[in-house]
Structure 1
Amino acid sequence: MSTERLWQLARFIGVILALFLTGFIIIRLSSLMYPFVFAFLLALLSRPLVDFFQKRLRLNRGWGALLSIILMSGLLIGSLVLIVMQLIRGLVFVANQLPDQIQELSLYFQKLYNDKLAPMWNDASEALRSLGPSQQNTVQNSIESLGSSLASFIGEGSKSIATMLQSVLATLPSIALILVIVLLAWFFLAKDWHKYEIRMKQYEMFPWFARAETVVSSLRSALFGYIKAQLTLITITFFIVLIGLLVLGVDHPFAIAFIAAFFDILPYLGTGSVFLPWIAYSIITGDTGLAIGLGILYAVVILQRNIMEPKIVGDNIGIQPITALIALFVGIKFFGVFGLILGPLVAVIIKALYNAQIFHYLWDFIKGSPTPFR
């Protein structure tokens, strides 16, 4: 192998190691810097409002930043209160209906026991009495072992739930501290945003600045695009469920549609958290028509979500629908639930780096003829 090839191989290995080291550093820092990342995103969102208070209302930028934080926090808290109120309204409706539904379920299970389970139990008892003493002991020991295993499983599950609740309560002070840090960092970043912009302009003469600015701009547009895409998908789900419930003649369709749209945010669970138990209950209580209607509505919601999500997410974050679909699938496989966010984000980062010709530069560097940033 020639010396030139050896140097190309060495540069290739160096690039790969540098990429892995960069990824490792980013992952390690993410566990420490995430409050400041949130604060940066909030400051970026509040920047137009702060500029408005400073330029139009002639407020000091510090007071403008504080006022914008109060207004945006109030809007967020108001939205959460609205969501909680709608959820409570839906839960009150369920609670009012629950006694009658429980009575119907009790009658159903009582009838099931009398018609099915009791004869089966009698037959099993007769079969057990017909066995020999040793066989009866074996069956009895198996039943006792099964009961002990079930009791142990329930006990371990209760301990796990108690431990989880304790850990949640123990993390409340940490959550409060993180919230305070985010708010303070948000204020300081929003207040001094223009100073950072002036400082960044000092680097405009450097050839790498334009490429870095392209990457940051692409990531910023992708972030807002992803939020817009998810809000669009949730809104579509809300109106589909609302129209379907109105057609089915269900009581309180708005509250139920709102709850279904809220659960649509949650990965994996989705609207199935509302529809599947409801369908099962309708089947048990003999309301087959409602069960079929809810099943069709649930299928429509799932179908539109799976068809529209790659298209809407891809259009809003600037990648092709097939690329968005691949990113969602790979993200779920590698990162689980968070892959629904991380997958498209990684795809956008790769696209932004490609648009900034970072990969072209690295390839030229490996070949031995690096092209400087222009």
Structure 2
Amino acid sequence: MISFYKRYYKTILDIGLIVLTVFLFMKLFSFIYAIATPIFWAFIIFAMIEPLARFLHRRGLKKMLATTISTLLFVLIILAVFTGAGFLFTSQIDNLVTVLPKYTQMLQEQITKRTIDLQNSIEALPPDVIEKSREIANQMATKATSFATNFLKSLLNFLTSGVMGLVTSFSTFMLNFVAGVILAFFLSLEIDWWKKNAREKTPKTFRKAFDFLRENVIKGIVSYLKSQLILISITFVMVLVSLMILGVNNAFTISLLAAFFDVLPLLGVSTLFVPWIVYHFIAGSTMMGIWLTVVLAVVVLVRQVLEPKITGESLGVSAFTMLSFMIISLSLFGVAGVILSPILIILIKALYDQGYLRKWIRSPEDEY
């Protein structure tokens, strides 16, 4: 053991210092994010309104007028989208919450009916076999009913609590969003001044660090987000069109839920569709179960075909590594950790590819 530490203590010390630096940076970022959330919103909104403002300014409009037009157009589009989508989502969620207890009762009735049919079909068997079969059938029916009921009740509670949670946090979101719009408006007006000061007063070391981040990290993150947005949109449209063709109620809300699950790594739309398909087969809606299975298969197949072409190597990091780092960051630093974790993991990979980690971490002698 002593020889191991003698050989590796420099490597362990260097890695420990890097891990400590990352931990302190994440802690600082989570603290800043908690007290300055509108500022982060401002940067996102600025990235959306600035291209149009810059375009109008180049066409002869004053910067104030160009930024005002771009900001107002952005706000109107956001209000229209959120109002329409919010109305549909709220009304369909309310309808879905209302009918879920009825689905639970229907499922219990179907399981009981099928159990009775099974018991009637084995009446011709010997008495001991009949008794044993009835006992097994009753146990299966009880467990199946309990599982189905608990699942639908859990889904009902999830939807209800989710809606209530959205209502509770909506005011905070709106305050942050409105403050972000105002800050983005002034940032767009002052962006030339900020750029000039950044060029003149930023130390060379920090400028080099920013250039490295921009070339190796920021571009990869933006490319990855664009590709994921395209894939999620494709999933949403495919599910929505399919459910509308099948005449399914609450198609818009179910499609939004499918898109939400599609965002989550290792889960995907199967998390929503598989229990739904099982329910239809148990409840006797065999054709609907078959059609939903076809929809699920097509959605999964299309995503598997398009994902490598759309996403490509925008991140260059395995899904397992990214998800593991995000889970740890979420546990340690909350939402801010989830936001920053992709940036850090890609930064670490870029530092490794560029040879910086090999310079910073001393390897033990005679090991490589």
The TM-score normalised by the length of structure 2 is 0.63
**Distance in 2 of aligned mates of 1:198 and 1:41:** 21
Partner residue, 1:250: 246
Q: 1:334 is paired with a residue of what secondary structure?
A: helix
Q: CA deviation at 1:195?
A: 0.8
Equivalent AA in structure 2 for residue 69 of structure 1: T
Question: Mapping of 1:297-308 within 5 angstroms?
Answer: 297-302=295-300, 304-305=302-303
Which residue, out of 327, 339, 352, partners 2:321? 327
C-alpha contact (below 8 Å) 2:242/2:295 kept by paired residues: yes
Which residue, out of 243, 255, 260, partners 1:260? 255
Distance of aligned partners of 1:304 and 1:40 in 2 relative to their CA distance in 1, 3 Å threshold: same
Partner residue, 2:227: 229
C-alpha contact (below 8 Å) 1:241/1:297 kept by paired residues: yes
C-alpha contact (below 8 Å) 1:86/1:259 kept by paired residues: no
Moved more, 229-238 or 300-309: 300-309
Rg comparison, structure with higher value = 1
The answer to whether the aligner puts 1:193 opposite 2:191 as a matched pair is yes
C-alpha contact (below 8 Å) 1:283/1:291 kept by paired residues: yes
Equivalent AA in structure 2 for residue 275 of structure 1: F
The answer to whether the aligner puts 1:23 opposite 2:35 as a matched pair is no
The answer to whether the aligner puts 1:37 opposite 2:33 as a matched pair is no
Q: CA deviation at 1:201?
A: 1.6
Question: Mapping of 1:12-91 within 5 angstroms?
Answer: 12=14, 17-59=20-62, 61-84=63-86, 87=89
Partner residue, 2:290: 292
**Distance in 2 of aligned mates of 1:355 and 1:42:** 32
Partner residue, 1:220: 218
Q: 1:58 is paired with a residue of what secondary structure?
A: coil
C-alpha contact (below 8 Å) 2:280/2:286 kept by paired residues: yes
Q: CA deviation at 1:58?
A: 1.6
Distance of aligned partners of 1:204 and 1:314 in 2 relative to their CA distance in 1, 3 Å threshold: farther
Q: CA deviation at 1:108?
A: 4.0
Q: 2:246 is paired with a residue of what secondary structure?
A: coil
Distance of aligned partners of 1:43 and 1:358 in 2 relative to their CA distance in 1, 3 Å threshold: farther
> How many percent of aligned residue pairs carry the same amino acid?
22
Q: Which has the higher contact order (CA 8 A, sep 6+)?
A: 2
Distance of aligned partners of 1:219 and 1:65 in 2 relative to their CA distance in 1, 3 Å threshold: farther
Distance of aligned partners of 1:273 and 1:363 in 2 relative to their CA distance in 1, 3 Å threshold: closer
**Distance in 2 of aligned mates of 1:17 and 1:252:** 52
Distance of aligned partners of 1:358 and 1:37 in 2 relative to their CA distance in 1, 3 Å threshold: farther
Equivalent AA in structure 2 for residue 192 of structure 1: E
C-alpha contact (below 8 Å) 2:236/2:255 kept by paired residues: yes
Deviations 1:210-265 (A, max 9, x none): 3322313544323432331122212332454467668xx62269x83784255322
Q: 2:295 is paired with a residue of what secondary structure?
A: helix
Moved more, 176-185 or 33-42: 176-185
C-alpha contact (below 8 Å) 2:269/2:296 kept by paired residues: yes
C-alpha contact (below 8 Å) 1:39/1:182 kept by paired residues: yes
Q: CA deviation at 1:198?
A: 0.8
Distance of aligned partners of 1:354 and 1:33 in 2 relative to their CA distance in 1, 3 Å threshold: farther
Question: Mapping of 1:94-113 within 5 angstroms?
Answer: 108=110, 111=113
Q: 2:44 is paired with a residue of what secondary structure?
A: helix
Equivalent AA in structure 2 for residue 76 of structure 1: I
C-alpha contact (below 8 Å) 1:272/1:298 kept by paired residues: yes
Q: 1:202 is paired with a residue of what secondary structure?
A: helix
Question: Mapping of 1:310-321 within 5 angstroms?
Answer: 312-315=310-313, 318-320=314-316
C-alpha contact (below 8 Å) 2:53/2:66 kept by paired residues: yes
**Distance in 1 of aligned mates of 2:173 and 2:101:** 38
C-alpha contact (below 8 Å) 2:326/2:341 kept by paired residues: yes
Partner residue, 1:180: 178
Q: CA deviation at 1:32?
A: 2.1
- Could you list the runs of 5+ residues in structure 2 that have no partner in the other structure? 120-152
